[in-house]
């Protein structure tokens, strides 16, 4: 069975390149259906850091939700995501499932305008 998923992307370390690399990795194994525009956003929590680039990608996958979540974490690791850094600190890439088969998974969608904007663009 195929699943449709919308993934939120965020980065403020070499963001453009990390977005391109993440999308290339995802598209090598899953069907990319649509990309949102990329938007710059001010950091949350820790303000003394560069702005973030945010966006969303809609894909189709045969993976289960739990397997796909692990797959995204592996991509973050491959792109050198530092998991010891503060929660709201700088990052090379952040990949989160926001919508899975039409169901809201990431509650940040409800409180973060930038996330709602990029997800709504492609949903």
pLDDT in tens, 99-114: 999 999 999 999 999 9
Identify the pLDDT of residue 83.
Answer: 83
Angle at 27 between CA 61 and CA 49, to 5 degrees: 110
Model confidence over 58-96: pLDDT tens digits? 999 999 999 999 999 999 999 999 887 877 788 999 999
pLDDT digits (tens, 9 = 90+) for 20-45: 999 999 999 999 999 999 999 999 88
Give me the residue label for tokens 């990052």: 91
Q: Which domain holds residue 100?
A: 3-122
Query: Which one, of 67, 43, 53, 45, lies nearest residue 18 by Cα?
Result: 53
Domain count, the chain: 1
The whole model's pTM is what?
0.93
Closest CA to 49 of 72, 2, 82, 3: 82
Report the CATH number that the domain containing residue 57 is assigned in CATH. Answer: 3.30.70.560
What's the confidence (pLDDT) of residue 86?
77
- Give DSSP secondary structure letters for 61-77: ESS-HHHHHHHHHHHHH
Mean pLDDT of 4-31: 97
Tokens of 49: 């850091």
């Amino acid at each position: 069975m195929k699943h449709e998923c919308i993934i939120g992307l965020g980065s403020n370390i070499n963001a453009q390149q990390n977005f391109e690399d993440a999308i290339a990795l995802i598209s090598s194994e899953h069907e990319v259906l649509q990309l949102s525009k990329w938007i710059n956003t001010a950091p949350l929590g820790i303000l003394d850091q560069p702005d973030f680039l945010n966006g969303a990608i809609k894909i189709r996958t045969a993976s289960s939700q739990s397997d796909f979540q692990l797959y995204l974490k592996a991509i973050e690791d491959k792109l050198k995501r530092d998991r010891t850094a503060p929660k709201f600190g700088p990052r090379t890439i952040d990949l989160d499932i926001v919508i899975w088969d039409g169901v809201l998974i990431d509650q940040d969608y409800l409180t973060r305008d930038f996330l709602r904007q990029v997800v709504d663009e492609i949903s």
